[in-house]
Copies of this chain bind each other. A is one copy, B any other.
Amino acid sequence: MTRALLTDFYQLTMLAAYHEQGMMDTAVFEFFVRKLPPHRNFFVAAGLESTLDFLARFAFTAEEIDWLAGLGKFKPAFLDWLGKLRFTGTVEAMPEGTPFFADEPILRVIAPLPEAQIVETRLINLLQFETLIASKAARVRLAAGDRQLVDFGLRRAHGEEAGMLSARASYLAGFDGTSNTLAGMRWNIPVFGTMAHSFVQAHATELAAFAAFARAHPQATTLLIDTYDTEAAAAALVPLAHELHAEGITIRAVRLDSGDLLAHARQVRAILDSGGLPGIKIFASGNLDEYEITRLLAAGAPIDGFGVGTRMNVSADQPYLDCAYKLQEYAGRPRRKRSEGKATWPGRKQVFRRFDAQGRMLGDVLTVVGDEQEGTPLLVPVMQDGKRLAPAPPLSELRAKTLAQLAALPETLRRTESAEPYPVVVAEPLRRLAATVDAYGH
């Protein structure tokens, strides 16, 4: 459970001022991403479930309030009030797994100003990261077609929660499983794993390591064959695999983790095939991402599955999103930030999405809430009076819906390289509102 004190200190200094002034009217904040990073054609919304969980349980502990009191910066009446603060607001959002585009809000909070403000930091912290990874993982899934994809990134993820949430976000976006065992337990994600180089090194010979591992795991054995010399290991494996087969043990796959994966995969495939082992699959890992997988498959690499780690789990080519959680309305009046390069569309907004007869996405309209446009409205109510409107759907169900939506993306957007932007039209009522807010001066 998230501590309420996991927040930027300015949220507390602002709340103290709001409390002093009695500014408790309804505020509307929206979370959106300002622009698509280079090479990206779409985002995939994620982080809603963890955000709702955070909002539903939001409360300061007595220990936290005591610590704040010890700073000597806050009045006792404010801290008393802060200790009782809960999130009682309304949330409207796109379901996890929904593709979206720049400037489209994926989540709206409607709550008394201090409540909507204090949750900002953690809300961005969750939505930004989970969306970042789901968006990256979806590209890897599209690049890999229907080949097996396993998240291998826990070790270089940025700490524990990053490892957990990226296992979840990559599964949501279509991966088949993860090496992160705790994520497997928490969200019922299939877990995968075989052996490290150290296992091979700890044995007297590579072949002894293979035999020992296969006998300890007679079902679905995958052997790592690149510790010393990949092709020599593949050749040595041929008689061993037949010997093990006679014992009833089947080698399912070999893993390549270094060097020129294309060349090694071709040579290993040839060695295994000519050794009468066409059923042994080739699984590759090591510095993979959507670009490298696209390159390998375009070259015809005989690779059946990929372990994708670091570059996906830290979204290495774009490790953050230019996102914001902005005040759009306070006390019934629309607001707009106009800082250079950071101006925002004011008011409460909705996104309508149109589809063709085959269910393929045609285009979106961004407009003000209340302006009915053709298509499906993407933001739906998910929380009221601080309570979820429905229990969290099973992750496997969200994953299936995500895959269906990735299939509905225009073909050009499904590619690894930049495409013509997806059409997002800003409707006239929203343009008028922005002009009105500007004329008014805020």
Q: Would A64 and B10 count as touching, CB distance under 8 A?
A: no
Across the interface, name the chain B residue whose C-beta is closest to A197.
B337
State whether the Cβ of A2 lies closer than 8 Å to any Cβ in chain B. Answer: yes
Given A73-B217, A199-B17, A163:B258 Cβ within 8 A:
no
State whether the Cβ of A314 lies closer than 8 Å to any Cβ in chain B. Answer: yes
Q: Would B6 and A259 count as touching, CB distance under 8 A?
A: no
A40 to chain B, nearest CB (A): 16
Q: Contacting chain B: which of A116-124, A235-243, A378-386?
A: A116-124
Q: Contacting chain B: which of A87-95, A98-106, A187-195?
A: A187-195
Across the interface, name the chain B residue whose C-beta is closest to A336.
B201
Q: Contacting chain B: which of A20-28, A272-280, A406-414?
A: A20-28
Q: Would A339 and B160 count as touching, CB distance under 8 A?
A: no
Report the contact-size class of chain A (Cβ under 8 Å from the partner): 35 or more
Residues of B contacting A3 in the complex (Cβ-Cβ under 8 angstroms):
182
Of B121, B160, B202, which contacts A23 at CB under 8 A? B202
Residues of B contacting A315 in the complex (Cβ-Cβ under 8 angstroms):
319
Given A159-B162, A162-B159, A16:B217 Cβ within 8 A:
yes
In the complex, the count of this chain's copies comes to 2
Q: Would A159 and B217 count as touching, CB distance under 8 A?
A: no
State whether the Cβ of A38 lies closer than 8 Å to any Cβ in chain B. Answer: no
Q: Which A residues are within 8 Å of any B CB, using their own CB? A: 2-3, 5-14, 16-18, 20-21, 23, 27, 29, 64, 67, 71, 73, 113, 117, 120-122, 124-126, 128-129, 132, 152, 154-166, 179-182, 184-185, 191-199, 201-202, 212-213, 215-217, 219, 226-228, 257-260, 310-311, 314-316, 319-321, 323, 326-327, 330, 335-342, 442
Q: Can you give 30 contacting A-B residue pairs, CB < 8 Å?
A: A2-B160, A6-B160, A8-B180, A9-B180, A9-B191, A10-B179, A11-B193, A13-B194, A13-B217, A14-B213, A16-B216, A20-B212, A27-B202, A29-B198, A67-B185, A73-B219, A113-B202, A117-B196, A121-B155, A125-B156, A125-B157, A157-B158, A159-B161, A159-B164, A161-B161, A161-B162, A228-B338, A259-B339, A260-B340, A316-B319
